[in-house]
Amino acid sequence: MNDLNDLSDEQSEPPISLGQLLATARVERQLSADDIANILCLSPRVIVAIDNDQLDSKLSLLYRKGYVKAYAKIVGIEQVQALAKFDSQYQSECSSEKMQSFSHRYKAKIYDNYLNIITILIMLSFLVMIVIWWLQRQEQVQMAETASPPIIAQMSLNSAELQAIVPALTPVLQTSQVQFNAATVHSESASDQMTQQIVLSFSDDCWVKLIDASNEVLVSGIKKAGQTVTVSGIAPFDVTLGAASAVSILYQGEPFDISPFITGKTAQFNVRVE
C-alpha cells in the first residue's frame, strides 16, 4: 500500500523545468549566476531569468535558444536535452516563430519574384529602345542614300544645260565678232587701243567667253565656283556668259553692272572704255 502511495506521489510531482535543470547543474558545479554571466559576457539578470524560467519573451527565440545552449554547455548538460526542454516549455512560441518564419520566407520569395519581373521588364524596355533606335538610324541612312541620286542628276543636268548653251551662243558670238571688227576698224584709231584690265569672279559654275578688240580670245570655257580670272587686253571687250547671275566683273578696278544685259540665264555685252 505504501508503494502505491509513493508511486502516486512520484506521478503527481511536476516535471523539472529548464530553469531548474540548469540552476541545479550550476549549483552542483559550485558556480554562481555571476560566474555564468561573466563567462557568457551577459548580465547576471539574464542568468537569473533563465534559472527562474522568466527569460524576456521580447528577446528573439533564436537568442534565447543560444543563451540556453551556452549555459547548458558550461554546466555539463547535453545541449539536445536542454533544447528539448526549451521546445516543450516554449512550444507555442516555437510554433508561432516557425509560422512567422514561413510567412517571412513566403513574402521574401514573392518580393524576389516581383523584383525579377521588374528587372526583366526594364531589360526588355531597354532592348526595345535599342531596336527602335537602330531601325530609325537605318531609315535615315536609306533616306540619305535615296536623296543622293537626284542631287547628282541635277548637277549633271546643270552641266548639260551649259553644254546646250554653248552652241546656241556661238552664232550670236560670231555675228558679234563681225560687227565688232567692223566697228573697230571704222570708229577707233590706233591711239585708242590701250590695254585695259578686267577681272571676272564666279560664285557658281559658268561658261564664259571674252574677246578683246584685237579679236584675241582672252577667256573661254567653263569656270568653276569660287574661281577668279584676271586678264588684260584692248578694250572694248566682248563678253558672253552662260550663267550671268553667278558672275561679278571689275573693270579697271571698278565694279561693272551686268544686270541690264541678263536675259534668262545668259548675258552678252560689251565692256567699253568710258
Residue 217 belongs to some domain of the structure: yes
Output the pLDDT for position 178.
44
Query: Model confidence over 85-120: pLDDT tens digits?
Result: 888 887 766 565 556 666 667 777 888 888 899 999
| Phi, psi (deg, nearest 5) at residue 5 | -65, -40
Output the pLDDT for position 174.
57
| 149-151-157 Cα angle (round to 5) | 100
Output the pLDDT for position 191.
43
Give the domain CATH number at 19.
1.10.260.40
Output the pLDDT for position 198.
94
Domain boundary among 89, 117, 150: 89
95, burial (CB in 10 Å: exposed 0-12, middle 13-18, buried 19+): exposed
- The interaxial angle of helices 79-89 and 91-187, nearest 10 deg, is 90
Q: DSSP label at 274?
A: -
Residue 72 belongs to some domain of the structure: yes
**What is the Cα–Cα distance from 57 to 6, expressed in whole angstroms?**
37
Output the pLDDT for position 274.
66
Q: How far is CA 117 from CA 123, 128, 130, 170, 210, in A?
A: 10, 16, 20, 81, 80
Domain boundary among 37, 69, 89: 89
pTM tops 0.85: no
Domain boundary among 35, 64, 89: 89
Domains contained in the chain, number? 2
240 close to 212: Cβ distance less than 8 angstroms: no
Residue 49 belongs to some domain of the structure: yes
Residue 127 belongs to some domain of the structure: no
pLDDT means over runs of 10, the chain (274 residues): 52 76 92 92 91 83 89 91 86 61 73 88 92 89 68 52 57 51 46 78 95 94 94 92 93 92 92 78
**What is the Cα–Cα distance from 273 to 187, expressed in whole angstroms?**
13
**CB neighbour burial string for 36-52, b if at least 16 within 10 angstroms, e if fewer:** bbeebebeeebbbbbbe
Q: Which domain holds residue 222?
A: 161-271
Output the pLDDT for position 249.
94
Q: How far is CA 76 from CA 26, 54, 72, in A?
A: 9, 22, 6
Output the pLDDT for position 61.
84
Output the pLDDT for position 201.
96
